[in-house]
Structure 1
Amino acid sequence: MRVLLDECVPSRLRQELSGHEVRTVPEMGRASEENGELLQLASPTFDVFITTDQKLSYQQNVANFDIAVIVLVARRTKLEFSRPLMRKVKLALTEVRPGEVRKVGL
C-alpha cells in the first residue's frame, strides 16, 4: 500500500509500517500545503493519507478524493504518543477505502 504521512505525523512512524511504501509530505516537497490541495495532489499516487488533523474531515469532503484518510487521535503528536496507535493503524490500512476517513485512537 502507498502511504503518505502528513508533516504533523512523526516521520519515524514509517519504520512501523514495513511492507508499505511510505513517503512524507516534506519529502514530496509539499510542506505547508493546505489539506485540500494535498489530498488532490496525493490521490493519483497514494492509497492512504495519515494525519493528526482531526478537523480535516469537517474541512474537506474526503469522499470527493480517490484516497483514504487515517486520522491519529493522540494527546500529542510526538512519537511516544503516536507509536502505541500503530497496531490499530495497520489494521485500519487493511480496511479503509478511498473517500473514507478512519479515526484511530487508544
Structure 2
Amino acid sequence: MKLLLDECIDRKFARELADYEVKTVPQMGWAGVKNGQLLAFAEAEFDVFITVDLNLSFQQNLSQFDIAIIVLKATSNRLADLQPLAPEVLASLATIAKGQATVVGA
C-alpha cells in the first residue's frame, strides 16, 4: 500500500508508518498543487492520501477519486501532535475505502 503525505504534514511522520511506502507531496514535485488536481495526481500512484485539511471532504467530491483519504485531527500539524495518531492511522488502513475520508484523532 502506497501512502502520500500532504505538504502540511512533517515528512518525519513517515517514520511512524514504516511498514508502508510513504512519499510526501513535495517529494513528488506537487507542492502548491490545489486539492482537486492533487487528488487526481495522487490517485494514479497512491492508495491513501493523508492530510490535516478538515475541509477537504467539503471542498471536493471525494467519491470521484480512486484514493482513500485519512484526515488527521490534532491540535496542530506539528509532528509532536501528529505522532500520537499514528497507531490509529495504521489501524484504519485495514478498513478504509477509496473515495471516502476517514477522520483520525480527537
TM-score (norm 2): 0.98
* Percent of aligned pairs with the same amino acid: 46
Superposed displacement of residue 25, structure 1: 0.1
SS class of match (2:93) = helix
Structure 2 gap ranges (5+): none
1:1-106 to structure 2, matched below 5 A, reads 1-106=1-106
TM-score (norm 1): 0.98
Structure 1 gap ranges (5+): none
Equivalences, count: 106
Task: Output the CA distance in 2 between the equivalents of 1:97 and 1:82.
Answer: 22
Task: Output the CA distance in 2 between the equivalents of 1:95 and 1:104.
Answer: 13
RMSD: 0.6
Superposed displacement of residue 67, structure 1: 0.1
Superposed displacement of residue 105, structure 1: 0.5
